[in-house]
Amino acid sequence: MENMISIQNVSFKYRTGEGMEDVLALDNVSFDVKKGDFVGIIGHNGSGKSTIAKLLNAIYFPLSGDVLISGMNTKDEENIWKIRQKAGMIFQNPDNQMVATIVEEDVAFGPENLGVPHADLRGRVDEALNMVGMYEYKDKKPHELSGGQKQRIAIAGILAMEPECIILDEPTAMLDPKGRVEVLNTIKRLNKEKNTTVVLITHYMDEIVDCDNIFIMNNGKLEYDGKPKDVFKQVEFLRKLRLEPPFATRVSYEMNKSGINIKDDVLTIDELAEEICQLKV
Average pLDDT rounded to a whole number, residues 19-27: 84
**Residue 113 predicted with pLDDT over 90:** no
Kindly indicate the confidence band of residue 281, based on its pLDDT and cuts at 50, 70 and 90: low
pLDDT at residue number 18: 66
Average pLDDT rounded to a whole number, residues 117-145: 88
- Residues 50 and 91: their CA atoms lie apart, in Å, by 10
Average pLDDT rounded to a whole number, residues 172-190: 84
Strands lying side by side in the sheet with 23-34: 23-34, 3-14, 64-69, 72-73
Q: 171 vs 281, which has greater pLDDT? A: 171
- Residues 148 and 185: their CA atoms lie apart, in Å, by 11
Average pLDDT rounded to a whole number, residues 83-100: 86
**Residue 206 predicted with pLDDT over 80:** yes
Q: What is the mean pLDDT of the chain?
A: 90
Exposed/middle/buried for residue 10 (C-beta within 10 Å: 0-12, 13-18, 19+): buried
pLDDT at residue number 177: 85
pLDDT at residue number 94: 82
Average pLDDT rounded to a whole number, residues 158-162: 85
pLDDT at residue number 133: 86
Kindly indicate the confidence band of residue 13, based on its pLDDT and cuts at 50, 70 and 90: very high
Kindly indicate the confidence band of residue 280, based on its pLDDT and cuts at 50, 70 and 90: confident
Question: Which fold, 3-229?
Answer: Rossmann fold (3.40.50)
pLDDT at residue number 54: 93
Percent of the chain with pLDDT over 70: 98
Residue-range domain boundaries for the chain: 3-229
Average pLDDT rounded to a whole number, residues 98-108: 89
**Residue 11 predicted with pLDDT over 90:** yes
SS3 20: coil
Percent of the chain with pLDDT over 90: 54
Average pLDDT rounded to a whole number, residues 205-227: 95
Kindly indicate the confidence band of residue 114, based on its pLDDT and cuts at 50, 70 and 90: confident
pLDDT at residue number 53: 93
Kindly indicate the confidence band of residue 243, based on its pLDDT and cuts at 50, 70 and 90: very high
- Residues 193 and 128: their CA atoms lie apart, in Å, by 13
Cβ pair 200, 214 in contact under 8 A: no
Average pLDDT rounded to a whole number, residues 106-132: 85
pLDDT at residue number 55: 95
Cβ pair 241, 44 in contact under 8 A: yes
